[in-house]
Amino acid sequence: MSEKTQELQKSSAIARISEEDINLISEDLRLKLTREEASAIYEFCGETCKSYQRVYELVAPTPEVKYPRTPGYRETEDSSWYYRCDIKGAENGLLKGKTVAIKDNVSVAGVPMMNGSKLLEGFVPDRDATVVTRILDAGGRITGKSVCEDMCFSGSSFTASSGPVRNPYDATRTTGGSSSGSASLLVRKKVDVAIGGDQGGSIRIPASWCGIVGLKPTYGLVPYTGIMPIEMTYDHVGPMARTVEDCATLLEVIAWYDSGNNPRQFPVMTHPPYSQLDEEELCRSSTVSAVVKNRRFFKVNDGIKGKKIGLLTEGFIGVEEDLAGIVRQAALTLKEAGAEVSDVSLPIHSDDVAIWTPVDFEGTYQMTIKGNGHGYGWKGAYDLPLQEALTGAFDLRPFDCPLPVKIVMIFAEYMQRNYQNKFYSKAQNLIQHLTMEYNRILKDYDVIVMPTSSGKPIKLPTRANFIGETLKLVLGMIKNTAPFNATGHPALSVNAGLSEGLPCGMMIVGRMFDDLTVLQVARAFEKIRDGAN
């Protein structure tokens, strides 16, 4: 081989397709090309390769990293942290003075991101996710990456490659997942607020089992740009906090359209401020104390007098009796705040997880595994370094995928080979129907309420557990949470009380883009629960 040929091969984006390649592919796809057609395609593709070469040579833009930082260090003492760092944002803003944990499926430039999995260990993003930039712009201080479950594919907290995250109320139990580290850090007051991600309940389940507040916002309200996806139509990112007011503040900071970078959003999206400064009071007197001047007046405190709240009958079916009772009693106390509370039934809710499943399995396989976290067919910002890292991992070490993801891969490949996308498509059509059914109920009710999880925090598995038993602990708690990933309705978990010393989450679900009412109902209950005025 000549030196010139060797140099050309080194600088080539792709190997030139050969006539043998064309014939083999034609045979596999049953195209029945003639010899003349194959020859013509060979010549045509030679020109096509030049376009790919030019794309290879052009430099793709990298988002600006606005705030300086050092790489930080790997946390070894607190299992809720994956990586510690200290990134200071703007001098002022809604999050001034607030410390923030970022779930480790969210890109923070220069800080390693593992996504809970040995598959990505060693990967360092070169960009900040949009929510990270917005947090820093608002004066937040990011103090680290919180542990998440392996590939974020568990509602429990024992699958992360770095080890289990134990429940602060009972170290033998799970915190819930996949935003396990964020929940644990919040309840232990290691940070003020945190970012979580949610495809089947991964914000709300750990919020429920750790007794904090976690909101899965309306689908698309918060941009997912720069975050490891699972299934594009299910992906949500949102705020977690100890109080509804802090949750509302973080939501206000991270919500809004991301200039076409994210296909999960729509240009016409708007949202109200969830918190506000009382300008009239600030101007009333020049002698107002600094404490009062810095006080925040939250719209989530506006009250819920006259609001109609529906207790979803099917949401209480199959739930541990004590948990169901605590949530029902908690919802009834909202009458004290002037709300009307009554039962409402929607039988299709009982089929929600069945409808969610084909989209989750087959969509995850196509986007996360075969599409290396990105797939095809959408406009927006593609994270090329993350895509390359996933490509290498899935090509070289697919055996390092967690068992739940291996199940998805096997079953989705089986479905693809035998049924193509038939069931995925039908499930998506059923989701449209499901969405309209919830919307129908929500015409008469401002929110609907049910237990967040089907049970209290479960025991962490031990070596005595069979693999089959352990698998049931991964996604066995999502009967009420997963449906609203499919439909996109805002859903929040707030602590309704304790049973046997363990938190019991109450989930509040609202109309599309009416996250404010969801927060207001949660805040009204929080005041009653805590005896606040």
20-31 pLDDT, tens digit each = 999 999 999 999
pLDDT score recorded for residue 273: 77
Which residue's entry shows tokens 């390359």? 388
Chain segment 147-201, per-residue pLDDT in tens: 999 999 999 999 999 999 999 999 999 999 999 999 999 999 999 999 999 999 9
Distance of CA 309 to the CA centre of its chain: 26
Report the DSSP pairing between strands 297-298 and 308-312. Answer: unpaired
What three-state secondary structure class fits 43? helix
Confidence class for position 8, pLDDT limits 50, 70, 90: very low
CA distance 256 to 266: 10
Angle at 105 between CA 116 and CA 118, to 5 degrees: 30
**Are the C-beta atoms of residues 344 and 441 closer than 8 Å to each other?**
yes
Query: Could you say which DSSP state residue 358 is in?
Result: H
DSSP string, 188-205: TTS-SEEEEEESSSTTHH
To 10 degrees, what angle do helices 515-530 and 244-254 make?
160
- The dihedral over CA atoms of 507, 159, 147, 199, expressed in degrees to the nearest 10, equals -40
CA distances from 192 to 81, 247, 527 (A): 15, 10, 19
Average pLDDT, rounded, for the chain: 92
Distances (CA, A) of 124 to 108, 334, 454, 458, 488: 8, 47, 37, 34, 31
Pairing, β 502-510 against β 340-344: unpaired
Instruction: Give the model's pLDDT for residue 298.
Output: 63
Q: At residue 1, does pLDDT exceed 80?
A: no
pLDDT band at 296 (very low <50, low <70, confident <90, very high): very low
| Strand-pair category, 73-74 with 81-88 | antiparallel
Beta bridge partners of 106: 227
Question: Would you place residue 269 in the very low, low, confident or very high pLDDT band (cuts 50, 70, 90)?
Answer: low
pLDDT value of position 533:
58
Is residue 203's pLDDT more than 60? yes
| Bridging pattern class, strands 275-276 and 297-298 | antiparallel
Residues 6+ apart with CB under 8 A from 269: 220, 221, 256, 257, 513
For residue 36, give the H/E element and its range. Answer: helix 35-57
What's the token pair of residue 244? 């509804």
Rounded Cα distance between 116 and 454, Å, is 25
Is residue 94's pLDDT more than 70? yes
Summarised one tens digit per residue, pLDDT across range 422-459 is: 999 999 999 999 999 999 999 999 999 999 999 999 99
3-class state of residue 245 by DSSP: helix
DSSP 299-313: GGGS--TT-EEEEEG
Q: Is there a contact between 327 and 451 (Cβ–Cβ < 8 Å)? A: yes
CA angle 224, 160, 460 (to 5 degrees): 120
Q: Which residues are catalytic, by number?
A: 103, 178, 202
Measured distance CA(164)–CA(157) in Å, rounded: 6
Pair 51, 84: CB distance under 8 Å: no
Residue 285 confidence (pLDDT): 36
Between CA 449 and CA 316 the distance in angstroms is 9
Listed as own residue / partner, the contacts of 6-9 with beta carbons closer than 8 Å and 24 or more positions apart are: none
pLDDT digits (tens, 9 = 90+) for 112-125: 999 999 999 999 99
Find residue 166's DSSP bridge partners.
174
Structure tokens at 512: 């599309």
Instruction: Give kind and range of the element (H or E) at residue 275.
Output: strand 275-276
Quick one: average pLDDT of 93-122?
97
Cis peptide before 178 (omega within 30 of 0): yes
C-alpha distance from residue 285 to each of 279, 402, 437, 469 (Å): 11, 61, 52, 65
pLDDT band at 241; cut points 50, 70, 90: very high
Among 50-64, 162-176, 265-279, 449-463, where is mean pLDDT lowest? 265-279
pLDDT, average across residues 513-523: 96
pLDDT-derived band of residue 5, with 50, 70 and 90 as boundaries?
very low
Q: Report the side by side order of strands in the sheet with 81-88.
A: 73-74, 81-88, 141-146, 99-103, 193-198, 236-241, 213-216, 491-499, 502-510, 447-451, 308-312, 340-344
**How many CA atoms lie less than 13 Å away from 381 in the CB half-sphere?**
22
Beta bridge partners of 497: 504
pLDDT band at 12 (very low <50, low <70, confident <90, very high): confident
pLDDT-derived band at 270 (thresholds 50, 70, 90) equals low
Q: What would the pLDDT profile of 247-264 be if each residue is shown by its tens digit? A: 999 999 999 899 899 999
pLDDT band at 464 (very low <50, low <70, confident <90, very high): confident
Q: What is the pLDDT of residue 138?
A: 97
Percent of the residues in the chain that have a pLDDT greater than 70, as a whole number:
93
Query: Is domain 73-530 given the CATH code 3.20.20.70 in the classification?
Result: no
pLDDT tier for residue 509 given thresholds of 50, 70 and 90 = very high
Instruction: Provide the pLDDT for residue 13.
Output: 82
Crossing angle of helices 352-364/403-419, nearest 10°? Answer: 90
The H-or-E segment that residue 85 falls in is: strand 81-88
Whether 345 shows a pLDDT value over 80: the answer reads yes
Tokens linked to 310? 């529906």
Rounded to the nearest angstrom, the gap between the alpha carbon of residue 446 and the centroid of all alpha carbons in its chain is 25
The 8-class DSSP code of residue 259 comes to: T
Domain map (residue ranges) of the chain: 3-57, 73-530
Given a cut of 90, whether residue 11 has pLDDT beyond it is no
Residue position matching structure tokens 């139509």: 233
